[in-house]
């Protein structure tokens, strides 16, 4: 069965802390994505990766970075968390035929 | 780049029909449709790749009008299980946006018994 696993469902961090959100897929997909979901705004693309060590900025990359050292793992990093980064973060990987498989999401609260 | 979805919200009785629209200001390569239930991850419904393509999934179907740069999702004889937020995702041909999938803001569908 297809699986995208996000390491933490809920996190609470303080302003200025470094935050790591991990995502692992077991489908050998090349493309992986990080989205941010806020009420009324839909899913907004932060970063995506089309291969190991390859990454592209999405629409809202400011304050975020990513790492893809292995094909199955795509990490989102908040170098210095701020309160406006409180949100739901969704990771996805894409099947070659186009379908996206999403993880369960990581709800981050920054105090 | 974000596609525009309409309406923002729909409330239905079981058995009623609904249409959700998704339009883009740019030429589309493909359109995806996803449904997200409260507290869960979005789940893929279907993808349309060609203008004029229509697809069905049980009583949920969609069309893609490439000329008008829009897609519509049709839910017929709605069931309680159809409740959730529906998102369209759009991909564009080539250029700096190659490979990206942009999502609309979502349409919240509520089906009452």
Q: What pLDDT, in 10s, does the model give residues B98-109? A: 567 889 999 999
Query: To the nearest whole angstrom, how far is the Cα of A42 from the nearest Cα of chain B?
Result: 4
Strands (E), chain A: 4-6, 10-13, 19-21, 23-25, 31-38, 42-51, 54-57, 65-70, 73-78, 87-94, 100-102, 106-110
pLDDT at B8: 95
pLDDT at B98: 54
The per-residue pLDDT of chain A, averaged, comes to: 94
Tell me how far CA of residue A63 lies from CA of A39, A57, A80, A106, B11, in angstroms: 20, 12, 7, 17, 38
B59: pLDDT confidence band, cut at 50, 70 and 90?
A: confident
pLDDT of B65 > 60? The answer is yes
pLDDT at B1: 76
Q: Which of B49, B91, B106 sits opposite A42 (nearest CB)?
A: B106
Burial class (CB in 10 A: 0-12, 13-18, 19+), B78: buried
Q: Which of A4, A48, A90 sits opposite B99 (nearest CB)?
A: A48
pLDDT at B94: 63
User: Quick one: what percent of chain A has pLDDT higher than 70?
Assistant: 98
Which of residues A98 and A25 earns the better pLDDT score? Answer: A25
pLDDT at B95: 53
Set of chain B residues whose Cβ sits within 8 Å of the Cβ of A50: 99
Q: Which of B32, B43, B100 sits opposite A45 (nearest CB)?
A: B100
pLDDT of A100 > 80? The answer is yes
Residue B6 CB-half CA count within 13 A: 4
The angle at the Cα of B105, spanning A98 to B46, to the nearest 5 degrees, equals 30
pLDDT at B25: 87
> What does the pLDDT average to over B57-83?
90
Set of chain A residues whose Cβ sits within 8 Å of the Cβ of B105: 40-42
Q: Which of A42, A56, A97 sits opposite B2 (nearest CB)?
A: A42
A38: pLDDT confidence band, cut at 50, 70 and 90?
A: very high
Query: To the nearest whole angstrom, how far is the Cα of B68 from the nearest Cα of chain A?
Result: 22
Give me the phi and psi of A23, to 5 degrees please: -140, 130
Measured between CA atoms, the residue of chain A closest to residue B108 is A40
pLDDT of B62 > 70? The answer is yes
pLDDT of A16 > 60? The answer is yes
Set of chain B residues whose Cβ sits within 8 Å of the Cβ of A4: 41
Query: To the nearest whole angstrom, how far is the Cα of B70 from the nearest Cα of chain A?
Result: 18
The per-residue pLDDT of chain B, averaged, comes to: 88
pLDDT at B23: 94
Range of lowest pLDDT (A29-38, B35-44, B80-89, B91-100):
B91-100
């Amino acid at each position: 069965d297809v699986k995208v696993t996000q390491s933490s469902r809920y996190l609470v961090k303080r302003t200025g802390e470094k935050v790591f959100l991990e995502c692992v897929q077991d489908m050998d997909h090349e493309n992986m994505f990080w989205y941010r979901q806020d009420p009324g705004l839909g899913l907004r693309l932060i970063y995506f990766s089309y291969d190991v060590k390859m990454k592209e900025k999405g629409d809202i990359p400011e304050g975020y970075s990513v790492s893809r050292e292995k094909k199955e793992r795509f990490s989102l990093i908040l170098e210095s968390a701020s309160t406006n980064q409180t949100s739901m973060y969704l990771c996805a990987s894409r099947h070659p035929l186009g379908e996206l498989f999403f993880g369960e999401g990581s709800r981050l609260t920054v105090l | 780049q974000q596609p525009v979805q309409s309406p923002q919200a729909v409330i239905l009785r079981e058995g009623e029909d609904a249409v959700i629209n998704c339009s883009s200001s740019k030429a589309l390569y493909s359109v995806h449709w996803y449904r997200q239930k409260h507290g869960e991850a979005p789940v893929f419904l279907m993808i349309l790749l060609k203008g004029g393509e229509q697809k069905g999934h049980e009583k949920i179907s969609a069309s893609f009008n490439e000329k008008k740069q829009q897609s519509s999702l049709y839910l017929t004889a709605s069931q309680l299980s159809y409740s959730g937020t529906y998102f369209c995702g759009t991909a564009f041909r080539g250029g700096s946006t190659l490979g990206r999938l942009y999502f609309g803001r979502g349409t919240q569908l509520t089906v009452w018994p």
